[in-house]
């Protein structure tokens, strides 16, 4: 599973990455995490507001930081 955090590295982006890592660990999911900070790549996903969470190339949420339980739900959808 590849989990991408799209954003500039702002505090919300860092918080989303932290929560996503915790969620994957708690679920026992092996995931590769990637930070995408390049604006052109972010726009390639159709994202206009960050942070965004992309799991296996599917945009799950953008423009906000969901709670850990919601992130777990997104991970579970892609398993």
Return the active site residues.
Answer: 10, 13
DSSP H stretches of helix in the chain: 11-27, 39-44, 68-77
Output the six-digit token pair for 71: 């992130």
Q: Identify the bridge partners of residue 58 per DSSP, sorted by sequence position.
A: 55
Q: Would strands 58-62 and 52-55 be described as parallel, antiparallel, or unpaired?
A: antiparallel
What gap in Å lies between CA 52 and CA 58, rounded to an integer?
A: 11
């Amino acid at each position: 599973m590849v989990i991408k955090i799209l954003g500039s590295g702002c505090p919300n982006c860092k918080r989303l990455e932290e929560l996503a890592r915790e969620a994957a660990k708690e679920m026992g999911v092996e995931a590769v995490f990637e930070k995408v900070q390049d604006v052109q790549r972010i726009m390639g996903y159709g994202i206009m507001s960050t942070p965004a969470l992309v799991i296996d190339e599917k945009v799950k949420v953008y423009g906000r930081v969901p709670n850990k339980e919601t992130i777990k739900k997104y991970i579970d959808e892609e398993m």
